[in-house]
Amino acid sequence: MSESNQLEIPGVVTLTTGEGGLRKAVIRSPRSSAEIYLHGAHVAAFQRHGEEPLLFMSGSSAFAPDKPIRGGIPIIFPWFGGREGMPAHGFARTAEWELGETTVRVDGTVCLRFALPDGGGFEVGYTVTVGESLGLELSVRNTGDEDADFESCLHTYFLVSGIDGISITGLSDTGYFDKVREVEALETSPYIRIEGEVDRVYSDTAAVVEIEDPGFGRLIRIEKTGSNSTVVWNPWIAKSRSMADFGDEEYLRMVCVESGNVARNKITLAAGERSVMKVEVGSRPLA
Ligand code: TA6
């Protein structure tokens, strides 16, 4: 049997060719479906049966070996943001990851385990669990002889019914760096609304964040462990127009709520030490 056949589970996990000729896994569980590209181990879609898709995907996204996918859940590693002469947000999201194992649990939940072939001094594993909710686990181990730093972020793009109708809770009284105004600030609002470009790195927070979307009649819940940073981003009008892989009006239908360890929350691992970040995203009807 070919390797791909060993990883396929009939009716549950299918390996096929997706956009741009990139390989992807198509997953179907009793409660949901998902698509994950090997390019970047990129979760491109997740949808609970009978619900709107949970994740946003730009209609203008590139699907090419040397470009990040615009939407879904890019894996940002080992740095967040720009770095002189290097790709923004690190190299993990444009690397070809290996799918090592697929399993299905008694309740039908599907687990897929990916590995980054070259983690630049780190051993990096990523486990995606597709079921009632979407589980993401990023494991990073320092394979060097010295301390090593890294930043990581699961840069999740959520689909919303309309950006002017949603509110984000869970970050009140949390400090953040406002990348638009380039100032440190304190979140004083229990309900964050998006009324312009928002690009905020909230630090020292392990809080659950929720996105209330009356238009879809749903509440999206983002729980995490091993993560002390939460990033909230919407490009709004001008930045949307400046991105070739993002539609001019697409800012109206998405918001990024990202879970990671970035900036002051970057992680330092001793030789051989491992850190694990877990994120679970789910949704339920709004009461
Ligand atoms: O997470 C927010 C952010 O850092 C923004 O500043 C914006 O650059 C966004 O990421 C998208 O970055 P990308 O490199 O994917 O265009």
For residue 75, pLDDT over 60 is answered with yes
Instruction: Answer yes or no: are the C-beta atoms of 277 and 259 closer than 8 Å.
Output: yes
Residue 1's pLDDT is what? 44
Q: Is 258 a catalytic residue?
A: yes
* Whole-structure pTM value: 0.98
9 CA to centre of ligand 1 in angstroms: 35
CA dihedral 283, 284, 285, 287 (to 10 degrees): -120
Nearest to 204 by CA among 218, 179, 190, 187: 187
Neighbours of 181 (CB within 10 A): 11
Q: Which of 42, 137, 155, 187 is catalytic?
A: 155
Q: How far apart are the first and last CA of the chain?
A: 49
CA-angle at 253, arms to 250 and 259, nearest 5°: 105
**Is the C-beta atom of 233 inside 6 A of ligand 1?**
yes
Q: Which of 35, 223, 258, 280 is catalytic?
A: 258
103 CA to centre of ligand 1 in angstroms: 33
Which protein residue has the closest C-alpha to ligand 1 atom 9? 233
Q: Is 39 a catalytic residue?
A: no
Q: Looking at ligand 1, which atom is closest to the CA of residue 88? A: 14
Residue 180's pLDDT is what? 98
Confidence label for 4 from pLDDT (cuts 50, 70 and 90): low
Per residue in 147-172, pLDDT tens? 999 999 999 999 999 999 999 999 99
Residue 287's pLDDT is what? 81
Residue 85's pLDDT is what? 95
Nearest to 155 by CA among 77, 268, 239, 54: 77
Instruction: Answer yes or no: are the C-beta atoms of 132 and 47 closer than 8 Å.
Output: no
For residue 232, pLDDT over 50 is answered with yes
Nearest to 81 by CA among 187, 185, 181, 152: 152
**Is the C-beta atom of 251 inside 6 A of ligand 1?**
no
**Is the C-beta atom of 155 inside 6 A of ligand 1?**
yes
What's the whole-number mean pLDDT along residues 10-39? 98
Neighbours of 85 (CB within 10 A): 5
Q: Which tokens in the block code for residue 28?
A: 């179907």
For residue 242, pLDDT over 70 is answered with yes
For tokens 């009324």, the residue is: 195
Instruction: Answer yes or no: are the C-beta atoms of 224 and 210 closer than 8 Å.
Output: no
Ligand 1 test: best mutation among 70, 158, 233, most atoms within 8 Å of CB?
233
For residue 91, pLDDT over 50 is answered with yes
Nearest to 228 by CA among 158, 178, 166, 275: 275
Nearest to 203 by CA among 181, 182, 177: 177
